[in-house]
Structure 1
């Protein structure tokens, strides 16, 4: 396939299809992308992007990696590193050089490579790859501390490892007489200064430029994109791949600024990154030669064992001694170190250059790098979640629900969910409302859910669903719109009027269809209606369906007006009744329904025919009035 337009189209479609399949079947996306790249490239010879793209191949790959690292930097907020700052600093500054030296020794004496290739390979395998770590963290739902450490290490180590490789390569050129040592030292120091200072100044300049309104909203993302590409290219003029450090620091600088439009910029960059990661990994894997892969011998197995089981654990345990981490956290981090795009990309770059200047085992460096990348993706991709479960480092083994608004309705729902062992948290900025929820023994978060603090301290990976249940429909819609991007627009629900079900009199009062969440009830029910129902004695009931007691019997034995809100499947997945394509509950599901109460003795009387339905409703109304009167007396 030599038609570049068709090749780009195939890579794009295959990459996104792989991402969707990974989401659908809950497996690491990189595993599927790796398989697709092998099929397109070495196994079938359908494409060879390195030769097909020609001179554009290297700069395109370098630019794509820079954009990916910048987006990774945008996710790093200094407030998140409070508990792991010492560990992160030691992992980058102590563990990184240790891995470099030990891996180089393994490549030299086990892989039987030359010293130049061994040093470059050791530097490349310092990186742990945010393009692999990020999807794995989302999939594994780790607790905050180990997740923060792995994320920071992956993003910071990528440019550091690339710089180690560049320094090794330049040092080899010095030994060959192509450069002098003074030139290398001056160039390296200048590149580091430019990278660090340029990243900080570039990030702050863009923040001020955007904050003062010098660019319209529709141009902010394109300007940001252009600046990232430009900063990467400019720094690379001093030292190859030093631009990766520049854009990473620029991303971190902007992530920790108070820029109102940062969320929109981050969403745009995340979309671009998903496209680039999907396509880039296929391109890099498809560019491998089958002969290179077949050249791997028994030495690579021993090398892999040393890298995974000896070098990484030693470096992590030595560097994190006294860093405030538990043993099980250090054990997890010492095992999880998948390599990704940067290692493969830089290995291809230097492998080609070394081969051109006559280094015999340059191709073996590429093969070894690919072997480590493939092995770590497969081993770490499929072992992270089980290992985290064994070590009790997962946030929860069940999907949770975040409820915004501590009303009597939401507290009653939370108590019923908690009784079914569903993780649930109620968030509210009103202390008296939160106090009521705490008295009901429901987990709470006191504060404004739309604040920056909420995004830091409320780990959203704990929640698969959210319900906005305050008395303000517009606020509910705002909350659902804000959190829908992270939790999923199909998994955020709200009480009252929504974009998909309006209770208003006309289009003038209707919200735009892109705002808000799904209605919690169909047809939508307002906050006041639900409040009145609670006052009238309505309750949440949990009922498990069995072969003998199915959905039809459920409705036959419930008072009129009972509405299923959600059901919990045997797999612990939660399905909301109002969700699109929810279907119906099946045998084994536990239905959480909201409906009028029916006392057991009334149920028995109705069955015997000694009490009419009307009399039962009147009796419930009388008891409710007595309860309200008692509460009023207690308040007075």
Structure 2
């Protein structure tokens, strides 16, 4: 009761409110198909400066800053855990250019804009300019899904966001360390020595912790169920110890630790990825709500016309100059450079890191650093809203947009796969057949169907398949276990409602059946691969029929009593794959895709006119 104040809410209620608002905003954004950061910003500002219901400084008190510091440390570790150097070496020339020298150009340009437009001092400008390199990996993915760009510009934006996330954080940490050292040191020589020694100590601790943890995991010194808890405990220990040995060096140490572990080729990397994904969702949303609720009307009122000018300068000058300069004389076409140049959404990582560093710089006597958090909020809100509405139209104008209907990835080459793909392609639904056996792809190649030779779960597919263009995946190979593996592994990526597979064989006893957490939704009316293969040998194929006022769903059922419905395409271009329990729509204008025997004549004349 000692921490509870008369004017506020108990700390436990504050923690619960932050969790509910953060996760609730992300869930609601998923339902509404919009960037979560917009709803989190509105929620935080509403309960904080808007209604005055929650003030983190008042209701949580001295625990708030350590909580944010630990959360940012975990976020930066997660950023380091995404930086796979082998993937970077194998990335396209455009991606490498956007990182080197793009990150440096962005840092310099942002710092100059902060100093000369927003009027910040060089210390605050250097730190915040480094953070502004990050283009929001948690924001760019939903925007790309919504815009459905062509492969190369989508890859450029996606990989820039992923790789520049840790690089931007690292740049900000280095600038922050330099500012603190310059503040404390009496001469330039002392500052340089303290700076170099700080970098060396933090880097050495991060490398040592990353190496030791990687070796422990590789040699099975920790059981599988303990790996994530051990990782979390070591991460907190490295952060705390590095900060204790050398003030404010913990963020650099955990970032380096994450980069080492990302390149250690650990067999348990999947579990580590789950940790970072869950930690990101919880911590990023929590930090964002805390920082938004911490804004007061006085601080927000300091966002004047010069702040608006800074946001416009960053969006329309700094970002385009950075991208055009980095991609100059590269093999990236001009239209793609233009699209990337005017697409740079910032995300919650920018706000989280800016909020923490702003507080630390203010404590060090740099008063204008109090503007970092509100400027970060303004930049994030402006870029997310602007690019959320402009990316798709601009891509269409430049001829870089994909189809209106999200495509379908068919895993497993076969006669059925080719027939299904041909039927969907006739109606402008993008399709890709994936198989690790070249022979199974021969019929699809001959039919002109796009194919990818390789395992859909491999790293080659991660870089070679334009995932953003596809919204559904169907596993129809002859290997039931592989279908289940594909559906289970890709369900978090596509959403479980969009992952399908051929029905698994029934078990005589329920306790022998696979748990419902494995596999996808049963496709093709619950038929197995052998049943479908037998039908295909008997002359069946995948056809489509347009339902009209004259030829209804009942007419189709009467005409094709043996047919198995596979998918529906409505008059708005929305594709719906059907599981064995799905109810068919009966509206006129819906096109039904089905597997059935080929007939020369139909009972209804309208059917012959609307079926292909």
TM band (smaller chain):
0.7 to 0.9
Question: Equivalents in 2 of 1:471, 1:123: separation in Å?
Answer: 51
Describe the shift of the 1:116–1:244 C-alpha distance in structure 2 as closer, same or farther (beyond 3 A). Answer: closer
State whether residues 109 and 322 of structure 2, in contact with CA within 8 Å, keep that contact through their aligned partners in structure 1.
no
Deviation string, structure 1 residues 286-305 (Cα, Å, up to 9, x no partner): 11111111222222222222
Question: Equivalents in 2 of 1:568, 1:395: separation in Å?
Answer: 18
Task: Count the aligned residue pairs.
Answer: 596
Matches within 5 A, 1:200-215: 200-215=207-222
From 67, 79, 89, give the equivalent of 2:74: 67
State whether residues 519 and 578 of structure 1, in contact with CA within 8 Å, keep that contact through their aligned partners in structure 2.
yes
Q: Secondary structure at the match of 1:235?
A: helix
Are 2:467 and 1:466 aligned?
no
Match for residue 235 of structure 2? 228
Match for residue 511 of structure 1? 514
Matches within 5 A, 1:79-478: 79-82=86-89, 84=91, 91-92=98-99, 94-142=101-149, 143=151, 144-171=155-182, 173-174=183-184, 179-237=186-244, 242-353=249-360, 355=362, 361-394=368-401, 396-478=403-485
Describe the shift of the 1:169–1:397 C-alpha distance in structure 2 as closer, same or farther (beyond 3 A). Answer: farther
Question: Equivalents in 2 of 1:86, 1:186: separation in Å?
Answer: 37
State whether residues 559 and 597 of structure 1, in contact with CA within 8 Å, keep that contact through their aligned partners in structure 2.
no
TM-score (norm 1): 0.85
State whether residues 546 and 591 of structure 2, in contact with CA within 8 Å, keep that contact through their aligned partners in structure 1.
yes
Question: Equivalents in 1 of 2:422, 2:139: separation in Å?
Answer: 38
From 530, 536, 556, give the equivalent of 2:532: 530
Match for residue 16 of structure 1? 23
Question: Equivalents in 1 of 2:518, 2:376: separation in Å?
Answer: 47
State whether residues 284 and 352 of structure 2, in contact with CA within 8 Å, keep that contact through their aligned partners in structure 1.
no
Question: Equivalents in 2 of 1:185, 1:88: separation in Å?
Answer: 33
Question: Which piece of structure 1 moves more, 90-99 or 422-431?
Answer: 90-99
Question: Equivalents in 2 of 1:480, 1:154: separation in Å?
Answer: 29
Deviation string, structure 1 residues 56-112 (Cα, Å, up to 9, x no partner): 222211221222232233334334434657655554554444444444444444334
Question: Equivalents in 2 of 1:382, 1:138: separation in Å?
Answer: 13
Match for residue 2 of structure 1? 9
- 1:380 is displaced (CA, Å) by 3.1
Question: Equivalents in 1 of 2:442, 2:482: separation in Å?
Answer: 21
Matches within 5 A, 1:548-627: 548-556=550-558, 558-578=559-579, 584-600=585-601
State whether residues 138 and 461 of structure 1, in contact with CA within 8 Å, keep that contact through their aligned partners in structure 2.
yes
Describe the shift of the 1:337–1:430 C-alpha distance in structure 2 as closer, same or farther (beyond 3 A). Answer: closer
Q: Secondary structure at the match of 2:69?
A: helix
State whether residues 42 and 289 of structure 1, in contact with CA within 8 Å, keep that contact through their aligned partners in structure 2.
yes
State whether residues 144 and 468 of structure 2, in contact with CA within 8 Å, keep that contact through their aligned partners in structure 1.
no
Deviation string, structure 1 residues 561-604 (Cα, Å, up to 9, x no partner): 11211111233322122176665353222110111221138988
Deviation string, structure 1 residues 512-539 (Cα, Å, up to 9, x no partner): 33222211134x2222211111122222
Q: Extract unaligned runs of 5+ from structure 2.
A: 1-7
Describe the shift of the 1:495–1:13 C-alpha distance in structure 2 as closer, same or farther (beyond 3 A). Answer: same
Deviation string, structure 1 residues 175-218 (Cα, Å, up to 9, x no partner): xxx65433432232233334444444433432332222211111
- 1:115 is displaced (CA, Å) by 4.6
State whether residues 78 and 256 of structure 1, in contact with CA within 8 Å, keep that contact through their aligned partners in structure 2.
yes
Question: Which piece of structure 1 moves more, 302-311 or 392-401?
Answer: 392-401
Question: Equivalents in 2 of 1:449, 1:342: separation in Å?
Answer: 30
TM-score (norm 2): 0.88
State whether residues 29 and 135 of structure 1, in contact with CA within 8 Å, keep that contact through their aligned partners in structure 2.
no
Deviation string, structure 1 residues 459-512 (Cα, Å, up to 9, x no partner): 4333222222222322322222222232222222222425xxx2x433465333
Describe the shift of the 1:460–1:382 C-alpha distance in structure 2 as closer, same or farther (beyond 3 A). Answer: same
Question: Equivalents in 2 of 1:578, 1:426: separation in Å?
Answer: 20
Q: Secondary structure at the match of 1:42?
A: helix
Question: Which piece of structure 1 moves more, 542-551 or 580-589?
Answer: 580-589
Q: Extract unaligned runs of 5+ from structure 1.
A: 608-636
Moved over 6 A (4+): 601-604
Question: Equivalents in 2 of 1:392, 1:82: separation in Å?
Answer: 29
